[in-house]
């Protein structure tokens, strides 16, 4: 094995890792703010992909151009889900909360299958297509743009959380709900905001990968398992942690798959989950 | 009632009256038996004007759309046998059933919904209450397995036209016959094809990468490929069993790229077939040949979604419409199908059609509707290729009921169509080889 191949594998791992990070960031944000695990997060990703697909199929808008639209749409979906479902189970036992989001997952998947058929679809000619070759290393432009987008979105989210009044309020709610309420922060509004942003992140990830990944109703299930591993590794609720963990998981998956054998790549990633839970249950940057 | 009372009476010295009673009862019993006997004897006489054949397909449920196509093909075959539609000359079963005095066949349909249990129940219903003389179906290999078990128990011939699991004819059933070639043969074809290509091009195609998904199908395929590769002196440069539900296939493709095989043999479902093609392109990797094992690569969605990037993939098939250019019978029968149902034949419906035609041919030669006569006629089946709409060498069953003259074909995507490229004697277009590099297209 030559150094070229190794570099190529690392680049591929980094690119997919950044996508994992973006998917996981939304998941971890929702958990951090209100301690609810959203099992329907993969379906938000799926909705984002379909939004891009229909924007392309019906109005010939490229997925990359449609990104702001996709984000807005999914933000609305997140807020609606919060207002109609999540708000009612805030004080319910954890098991009920799990079942509620799990049921939501099945509902969204079923609706997608009903309205858009279980077919696999693809966006044939995106603005971003073709390959980039840097010496011996080759990668697809769609994958590169998606990774770049993931960095941008995660960066913007970090800025929002740490540099704006509204973001700081959200962070405050995440740290201590009671205290934040006493400071005059409207908890309900913050929760709705968290769901909106969380869903928008998944939607953006969907829009970014729609340029190269097949689109079908169960597509979320391919990503959600890995997103959970990323959230655990990064530490529940930590956006920066999820970002780093996404890259690590992507690298480990692709490199491990290449070196050990692709049949073990999922096993390698899931063993990582076990190791983290045993050795450092709070993850890389999680709250103790 | 009288009779029943007579036998339940406790045994004691019979009085005269009782003796008379018993004699009457015995007479009644004899009469009944005789009548029944006449009834049994009369059944074939009645059946000769209407021969009932049970057909089990998935008519509802997830595979309903396929089931409906299969049903239409079977009905077309029956209409041709019954001379409701004039048959193209030379077509097997086109002569109808002269040895049965021009009797008509009637298809009685059963719906297995894709469920092996339901398939068995339907087989039982068709045999016991619909009194069918033979069964066909059931498309899904696992349903064919259970339904044919019921037929075996009742001693009714079961002719399967379109299930390809190799194990079905390894059960040594007495009443089971299969016209379609099975999976092992298809995989074997790949190696024969590569041998033929070596002779034709003078290139070495001996290094192979096996790239199969990791459920039962992919695992079984891999085992068989490893065995055949060893027997026929091929080198396996890389062997990958990958999880079909995956977010990236870069590690897989990188490994294959590093192993630099001449040929990739790939078994994938639709989603992973698409993703792998995208990854080949992303990493700028094109082997000399990509040999796909049907499934995702032959799904009607595959070319629709891949567009030009799906070009030059080579896959196995059971049937292709371009065969009509070679065999006029295919075009004529396909036109009949178009007129009747508004759709073209495909690999499944062409095989369903052939199943009924082969069964009708055996019925006629049997000249009877007795199950053992039909079975004997099936065993003596010898239909030449010229009577079929399939790319086979004919129909002739071996001791296990497997058609030993069935062959698969190999198709290649050329100009957005699947065209037959092998066996060379039935090919409509030459193979594009090697597969052009991504940047040279």
Give pLDDT tens digits for A11-49: 999 999 999 999 999 999 999 888 899 999 999 999 999
Q: Report domain extents, chain B.
A: 2-47, 50-181+325-395, 184-317+409-440
CB B292 within 8 A of CB B266: yes
Asked if B122 and B147 count as a contact pair (C-beta separation under 8 A), the reply is yes
Residues A150, A106: Cα–Cα separation, whole Å: 27
As a whole number of angstroms, the distance between CA A23 and CA A52 comes to 16
Residue A130 scores a pLDDT above 70: yes
B246 touches chain A (CB under 8 A): yes
Q: How confident is the model at residue B44 (pLDDT cuts 50, 70, 90)?
A: very low
In whole angstroms, what is the distance from residue B68 CA to residue B59 CA?
A: 6
CA distance A263 to A19: 22
pLDDT at A187: 86
Rounded CA Rg of chain B: 27
- In CATH terms, the superfamily for domain B184-317+409-440 is Response regulator (3.40.50.2300)
Q: pLDDT exceeding 90 applies to what percent of chain B?
A: 60
Closest alpha carbon within chain B to A119: B301
pLDDT in tens, B86-107: 999 899 988 899 999 889 999 9
pLDDT, position B36: 42
Measured in degrees and rounded to the nearest 5, phi and psi for residue A139 equal: -150, 160
- In terms of pLDDT, which residue wins out, B118 or A176? B118
pLDDT in tens, A132-176: 888 888 888 889 999 999 999 999 999 999 999 999 999 888 888
Q: Which fold has domain B50-181+325-395?
A: Rossmann fold (3.40.50)
Domain residue spans in chain A? 3-279
Please give the Cα distance from B77 to B104 (Å, whole number). 12
Closest to A124 (Cβ–Cβ): which among B254, B258, B307? B307
- pLDDT of B313-328, one tens digit each? 999 998 988 888 888 9
Tokens 């065995």 belong to residue:
B227
Q: Which residues contact A39 (CB under 8 A, 6 or more apart)?
A: A98, A101, A102, A104, A105, A224
How far is it, in rounded angstroms, from Cα B411 to Cα B426?
A: 11
Distance from CA of A20 to the nearest CA of B (A): 9
- Chain A residues with CB inside 8 Å of B242's CB? 262-263
pLDDT at B75: 96
User: CA-to-CA distance for A180 and A169, rounded, in angstroms?
Assistant: 8
CA angle at A221 for the pair A236 and A194, rounded to the nearest 5°: 40
Per 3-state DSSP, what percentage of chain A is helix, strand, and coil (rounded to 5)? 75, 5, 20
What is the model's pLDDT at position B4?
Answer: 42
Mean pLDDT of chain A: 91
B308 has pLDDT over 80: yes
The pLDDT tens digits for B261-292 are 999 999 988 888 999 999 999 888 988 999 99
Judge whether B44 is closer than 8 Å to chain A, CB to CB. no
Taking one residue from A and the other from B, the number of pairs with CB-CB distance under 8 angstroms is: 96
- pLDDT (0 to 100) of residue B21: 57
Residues of A in contact with B306 (CB under 8 A): 122
According to DSSP, the residues that pair with B235 across neighbouring strands are B207
- The top-scoring range by mean pLDDT among B158-167, B321-330, B371-380 is B371-380
């004699």: which residue's tokens?
B23
């Amino acid at each position: 094995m030559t150094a070229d191949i190794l570099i190529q594998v690392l680049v591929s791992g980094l690119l997919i890792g950044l996508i994992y990070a973006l998917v996981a960031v939304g998941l971890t944000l929702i958990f951090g703010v209100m301690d609810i695990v959203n099992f329907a997060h993969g379906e938000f990703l799926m909705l984002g992909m379909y939004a891009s697909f229909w924007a392309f199929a019906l109005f010939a808008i490229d997925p990359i151009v449609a990104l702001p639209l996709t984000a807005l749409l999914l933000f609305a979906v997140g807020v609606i889900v919060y207002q109609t479902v999540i708000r009612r189970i805030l004080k319910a036992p954890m098991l009920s909360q799990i079942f509620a989001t799990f049921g939501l997952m099945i509902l969204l998947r079923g609706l997608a299958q009903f309205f858009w058929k279980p077919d696999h679809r693809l966006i044939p000619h995106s603005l971003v297509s073709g390959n980039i070759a840097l010496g011996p290393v080759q990668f697809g432009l769609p994958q590169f743009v998606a990774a770049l987008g993931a960095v941008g979105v995660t960066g913007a989210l970090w800025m929002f959380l740490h540099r704006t009044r509204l973001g700081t309020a959200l962070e405050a709610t995440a740290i201590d709900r009671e205290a934040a309420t006493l400071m005059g922060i409207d908890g309900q509004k913050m929760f709705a905001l968290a769901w909106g942003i969380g869903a928008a992140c998944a939607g953006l990830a969907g829009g970014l990968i729609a340029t190269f990944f097949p689109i079908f109703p169960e597509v979320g299930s391919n990503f959600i398992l890995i997103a959970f591993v990323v959230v655990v590794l990064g530490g529940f609720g930590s956006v920066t942690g999820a970002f780093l963990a996404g890259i690590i998981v992507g690298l480990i998956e692709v490199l491990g798959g290449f070196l050990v054998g692709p049949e073990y790549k999922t096993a390698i990633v899931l063993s990582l989950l076990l190791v983290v839970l045993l050795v450092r249950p709070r993850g890389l940057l999680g709250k103790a | 009632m009288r009779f029943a009372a007579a036998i339940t009476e406790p045994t004691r010295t019979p009085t005269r009256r009782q003796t008379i009673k018993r004699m009457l009862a015995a007479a009644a019993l004899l009469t009944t038996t005789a009548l029944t006997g006449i009834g049994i004897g009369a059944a074939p006489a009645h059946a000769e004007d209407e021969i009932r054949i049970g057909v089990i397909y998935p008519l509802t449920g997830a595979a309903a759309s396929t089931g409906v196509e299969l049903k239409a093909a079977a009905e077309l075959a029956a209409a041709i046998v019954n001379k409701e539609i004039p048959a193209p000359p030379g077509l097997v079963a086109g002569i109808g059933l002269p040895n049965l005095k021009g009797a008509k066949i009637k298809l009685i349909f059963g719906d297995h919904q894709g469920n092996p249990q339901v398939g068995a129940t339907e087989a039982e219903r068709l045999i016991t209450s619909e009194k069918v003389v033979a069964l066909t179906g059931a498309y899904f290999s696992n349903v064919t397995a259970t339904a044919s078990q019921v037929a075996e128990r009742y001693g009714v011939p079961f002719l399967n036209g379109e299930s390809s699991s190799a194990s079905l004819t390894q059960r040594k059933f007495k009443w089971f016959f299969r016209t379609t070639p099975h999976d092992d043969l298809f995989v074997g074809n790949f190696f024969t094809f590569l041998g033929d290509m070596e002779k034709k091009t003078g290139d070495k195609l001996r290094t192979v990468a096996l790239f199969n998904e990791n459920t039962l199908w992919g695992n079984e395929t891999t085992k068989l490929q490893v065995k055949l590769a060893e027997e026929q002196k091929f080198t396996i440069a890389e062997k990958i069993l990958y999880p079909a539900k995956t977010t990236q296939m870069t590690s897989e493709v990188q490994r294959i790229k590093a192993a630099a095989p001449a040929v990739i043999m790939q078994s994938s479902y639709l989603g992973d077939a698409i993703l792998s093609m995208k990854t080949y392109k992303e990493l700028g990797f094109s082997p000399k040949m990509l040999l796909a094992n049907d499934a995702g690569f032959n799904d009607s969605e595959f070319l629709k979604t891949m567009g030009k990037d799906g070009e030059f993939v080579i896959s196995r098939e059971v049937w292709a419409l371009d065969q009509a250019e070679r065999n006029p019978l295919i075009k004529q029968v396909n036109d009949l199908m178009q007129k009747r149902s508004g759709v073209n034949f495909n690999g499944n419906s062409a095989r369903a059609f052939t199943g009924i035609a082969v069964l009708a041919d055996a019925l006629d030669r049997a000249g009877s509707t007795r199950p053992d006569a039909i079975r004997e006629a099936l065993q003596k089946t010898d239909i030449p290729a010229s009577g079929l709409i399939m790319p086979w060498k004919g129909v002739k069953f071996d001791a296990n009921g497997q058609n030993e003259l069935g062959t698969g074909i190999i198709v290649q995507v050329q100009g957005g169509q699947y065209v037959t490229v092998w066996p060379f004697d039935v090919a409509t277009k030459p193979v594009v080889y090697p597969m052009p590099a991504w940047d040279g297209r």
